[in-house]
């Protein structure tokens, strides 16, 4: 697929700081230690509805990972998928009497626009599930051949993954059996499917059903299971052992556990990703913002209301990416006020020296993306610039560059 277009990220004078991130698998903040090319995969949208502020917050968090790595002189190979065939998409299309392909194309196009407006650096590879079907079929064939997968003896001969096949199942989420079973049932799994060897075995290939889209393949006609989509797209573009596998915390289990287990079974090597990084859930009025609950605030709706996307960006960054938090109208008002203040300050002809503020910005971001403190470092500089003033003629430009490169905010 075509990604959205990118804006150049300027270089910031001064000394970058290497990035440390909380790793779900390790349970602690760990240094990221990418090579010349940092490799990141972030789970993309299922395009059956518009991008809401929860999605946006998650992509902004990983955009900062991208930006801090760029600051440290790495190139970044960033890959993101689009789950453009899956049950939720088909269910929504049926509910709305719409063609599922048209629905997916429209929402994916809107997502691109939203990401561009929010100045998210685009992935180098933006890959749909449908266009990856040949790769997925090949992977299922390998898993069957190695004994990691089996086919149901059923009217619908679906293919399942033996969840313990990699020998490492559970290392990513560290959840106990009961928690795994709960989330498996809640998040797209089918523990009660008759004929499976074990309730936690995950679907790899769903045999064709009447009235459902399917693709001809050497496995028989059908369509791909969800977790393998991300394994294969990541593996074939980044290779095993890439730096960060990312997404929202709702993907910790089963999605990322299985993505890892599938890839590790396919290759016989470990680990799928060096770090598993998860953003907290954004809610509205105390509930997780989700398509199924219908309590959504869309980025496109706010854009339509002429809200400055940079104010949305600042509003979402004024909270720690790992903390579950609520979107409020006040947060947006505060984001807009902060944006106005910063813009006023960078218009000054001279200001207090900005080196210390930029160093603080880098320090805070490198410490597991502590954006709240990072924003306050710029607040403090802007406050002093606008109240006391200063004589450094280069300071406003330095702040403008640093805020652009490291926070993605255009002043």
Residue 283 phi, psi dihedral angles, 5° rounding: -120, 175
User: Of 58 and 366, which has the nearer Cβ to ligand 5CA?
Assistant: 58
Among Zn ion, ligand 5CA, none, what binds residue 314 when CB lies within 5 to 8 Å by partner kind? none
For ligand 5CA, the closer CB: 224 or 271: 224
Give the Cα separation of 408 and 118 in Å (integer).
8
- CA–centroid distance for 355 within its chain: 31
Q: Which of 9, 40, 45, 314 binds ligand 5CA (CB under 6 A)?
A: 45
Taking CB under 6 A as the criterion, the residue among 66, 119, 223, 288 binding ligand 5CA is 288
Assess 120 for contact with ligand 5CA (CB under 6 A): no
248 binds ligand 5CA per the rule CB under 6 A: yes
For helices 133-146 and 226-238, give the axis angle rounded to 10 degrees. 100
Question: Considering CB distances under 5 to 8 angstroms, the limit depending on partner class, which of ligand 5CA, Zn ion, none binds residue 288?
Answer: ligand 5CA
- Decide: 357 and 378 in contact? Cβ < 8 Å: yes
3-class DSSP state for residue 5? coil
Place of tokens 């060096």: 274
Residue 332: name its binding partner from ligand 5CA, Zn ion, none (Cβ under 5 to 8 Å by kind). none
**Does residue 139 belong to the site contacting Zn ion (CB under 5 A)?**
no
CB 383 within 8 A of CB 357: no
Considering only 33-41, 228-236, 333-341, 367-375, which stretch makes contact with Zn ion by CB under 5 A? 228-236
Closest contact distance (angstroms) between CB of 80 and ligand 5CA is 9
Q: Is the peptide bond before 316 cis (omega within 30 degrees of 0)?
A: no
- Pull the structure tokens for residue 295: 């309590």
58 makes contact with ligand 5CA (CB under 6 A): yes
**Can residue 235 be called a binding residue for Zn ion (CB under 5 A)?**
no
Cis status, amide bond into 28, omega within 30 of 0: no
Q: How far is the CB of 62 from ligand 5CA (least distance, A)?
A: 9
- What is the rounded distance in angstroms from the CA atom of residue 403 to the CA atom of residue 407? 5
Site for ligand 5CA in 304-323 (CB under 6 A): none
Query: Can residue 85 be called a binding residue for Zn ion (CB under 5 A)?
Result: no
**Residue among 54, 123, 128, 352 that touches ligand 5CA (CB under 6 A):** 54
> Which CB atom, from 58 or from 265, has the smaller least distance to ligand 5CA?
58
Number of H helices, E strands in the chain: 13, 14
| Residue 251: DSSP 8-state | G
Q: Does 230 bind ligand 5CA (CB under 6 A)?
A: yes
370 vs 377: CA distance, rounded Å: 11
Choose which of 230, 331, 398, 399 interacts with Zn ion (CB under 5 A). Answer: 230
Closest CA to 45 of 117, 147, 113: 113
For ligand 5CA, the binding residue among 68, 115, 282, 357 (CB under 6 A) is 282
Confirm or reject binding of residue 136 to Zn ion (CB under 5 A).
Answer: no
Structure-block tokens of residue 411: 């002043």
Q: How many other CB atoms sit within 10 Å of the CB of residue 113?
A: 15
Find the part of the chain contacting Zn ion (CB under 5 A) among 65-73, 178-186, 229-237, 285-293.
229-237
- Kindly state the number of chain residues that form the binding site for ligand 5CA, as judged by CB under 6 A: 21
CB of 79 to Zn ion, least distance (A): 11
- How many residues touch Zn ion (CB under 5 A)? 2
Q: How far apart are CA 409 and CA 401, in angstroms?
A: 9
Stretch that binds Zn ion, among 36-44, 86-94, 114-122, 178-186 (CB under 5 A): 36-44
8 Å CB contact between 403 and 411: yes
Q: Provide the token pair at 375.
A: 């924003």
Distances (CA, A) of 72 to 68, 69, 361, 405: 6, 5, 14, 12
Residue 250 interacting entry, from ligand 5CA, Zn ion, none, C-beta within 5 to 8 Å by type: ligand 5CA
Check residue 46 for interaction with ligand 5CA (CB under 6 A): yes
Q: Check residue 44 for interaction with ligand 5CA (CB under 6 A).
A: yes
Give the end-to-end CA distance of the chain in Å, rounded to a whole number.
31
Chain residues that interact with ligand 5CA, rule: CB under 6 A: 43-46, 54-55, 57-58, 81, 83, 230, 247-248, 250-251, 279, 281-282, 288-290
Chain residues that interact with Zn ion, rule: CB under 5 A: 43, 230
């Amino acid at each position: 697929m075509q990604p959205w277009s990118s804006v150049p990220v300027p270089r910031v004078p001064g000394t970058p700081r290497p990035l440390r991130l909380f790793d779900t698998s390790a349970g602690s903040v760990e240094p990221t230690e990418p090579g010349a090319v940092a490799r990141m995969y972030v789970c993309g949208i299922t395009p059956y509805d518009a991008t809401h502020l929860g999605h946006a917050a998650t992509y902004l968090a990983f955009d900062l990972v991208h930006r801090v790595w760029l600051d440290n002189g790495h190139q970044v190979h960033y890959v993101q998928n689009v789950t453009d065939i899956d049950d939720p998409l088909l269910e929504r299309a049926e509910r709305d009497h719409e063609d599922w392909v048209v629905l997916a194309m429209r929402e994916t196009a809107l997502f691109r626009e939203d990401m561009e407006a929010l100045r998210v650096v685009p992935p180098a590879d933006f890959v749909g599930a449908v266009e990856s079907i040949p790769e997925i079929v090949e992977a299922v064939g390998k898993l069957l051949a190695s004994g990691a997968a089996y086919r149901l003896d059923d009217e619908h001969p679906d293919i399942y993954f033996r969840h313990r096949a990699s020998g490492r199942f559970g290392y990513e989420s560290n959840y106990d059996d009961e928690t795994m079973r709960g989330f498996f049932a809640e998040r797209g799994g089918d523990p009660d499917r008759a004929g499976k060897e074990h309730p936690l075995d995950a679907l790899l290939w769903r045999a064709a059903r009447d009235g459902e889209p399917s693709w001809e393949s050497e496995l028989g006609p059908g369509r791909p299971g969800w977790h393998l989509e991300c394994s294969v797209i990541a593996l074939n573009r980044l290779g095993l052992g890439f730096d960060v596998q990312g997404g929202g915390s709702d993907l910790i289990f089963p999605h990322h556990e299985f993505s890892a287990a599938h890839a590790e079974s396919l290759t016989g090597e470990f680990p799928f990703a060096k770090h598993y990084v998860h953003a907290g859930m954004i809610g509205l009025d105390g509930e997780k913002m989700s398509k199924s609950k219908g309590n959504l605030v869309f980025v496109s709706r706010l854009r339509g209301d002429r809200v400055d996307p940079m104010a949305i960006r600042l509003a979402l960054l004024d909270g720690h990416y790992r903390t579950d938090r609520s979107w409020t109208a006040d947060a947006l008002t505060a984001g807009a006020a902060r944006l106005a203040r910063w813009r006023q300050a960078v218009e000054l002809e001279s200001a207090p020296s900005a080196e210390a503020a930029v160093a603080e910005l880098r320090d805070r971001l490198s410490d597991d993306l502590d954006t709240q403190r990072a924003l306050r470092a710029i607040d403090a500089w802007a406050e002093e610039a606008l109240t006391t003033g200063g004589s450094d003629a280069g300071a406003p430009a330095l702040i403008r560059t640093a805020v652009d490169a490291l926070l993605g905010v255009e002043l």
